């Protein structure tokens, strides 16, 4: 891709790596917040889809509210979409292996 800068995940001074790391940390923190709030989350796919769709809807709401001068939580809402997506991926793997959610050791 032209003008596409390749970043180096092993270079701690790489600006794009910093952005990547910040995004992942935000997603991890949101996943922890969701675990604390909702407890174990092993749902059927249709429930995960409903949860994810609700979160995507909140992203759309933020964008529309920005157009009218509000909506300052777009990043937060996008992090929630990513966190729910990762939670769903992890739940799928647990289901495939016949495992249950385990609360992480703190
Ligand atoms: Mg949300």
Name the DSSP letter for residue 41. Answer: -
Residue range of the domain that includes 67: 41-95
CA angle 71, 77, 82 (to 5 degrees): 160
Residue 31 lies in a domain: no
Q: Identify which of 40, 41, 26 has the alpha carbon closest to the alpha carbon of residue 83.
A: 26
What's the domain count of the chain?
Answer: 1
Residue 19 lies in a domain: no
- Torsion of Cα atoms, 48 then 17 then 59 then 64, to 10°: -170
Q: How far is the CA of 17 from the centre of ligand 1 (A)?
A: 25
Residue 35 lies in a domain: no
Residue 98's region, left for phi above 0, alpha for psi from -120 to 50, else beta, is left
pTM across the whole model? 0.81
Can you give the pLDDT at residue 103?
58
Residue 49 lies in a domain: yes
Q: State which residues have CB under 5 angstroms from ligand 1, the bound ion.
A: 55, 58, 77, 80
Q: How far is the CA of 55 from the centre of ligand 1 (A)?
A: 4
Residue 103 lies in a domain: no
74, two tokens: 């777009």
Q: What is the pLDDT along the chain (106 residues), one digit of tens a residue?
A: 556 667 776 777 778 888 888 999 999 999 999 999 988 889 999 999 999 999 999 999 999 998 888 768 999 999 999 999 999 999 999 999 988 766 555 5
Q: How far is the CA of 48 from the centre of ligand 1 (A)?
A: 14
Q: How far is the CA of 86 from the centre of ligand 1 (A)?
A: 14
Can you give the pLDDT at residue 2?
59
Q: How far is the CA of 70 from the centre of ligand 1 (A)?
A: 16
Q: How far is the CA of 26 from the centre of ligand 1 (A)?
A: 13
Residue 72 and residue 57: Cα distance in Å, rounded?
A: 15
């Amino acid at each position: 891709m032209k003008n596409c800068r390749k970043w180096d995940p092993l270079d701690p001074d790489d600006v794009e790596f910093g952005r990547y790391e910040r995004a992942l940390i935000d997603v991890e923190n949101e996943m922890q917040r969701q675990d604390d709030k909702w407890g174990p989350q092993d749902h059927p796919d249709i429930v995960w889809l409903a949860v994810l769709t609700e979160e995507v809807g909140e992203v759309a709401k933020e964008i529309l509210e920005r157009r009218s001068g509000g909506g300052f939580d777009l990043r937060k809402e996008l992090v929630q979409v990513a966190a729910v997506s990762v939670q769903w991926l992890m739940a799928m793997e647990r289901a495939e292996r016949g495992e249950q959610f385990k609360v992480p050791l703190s």
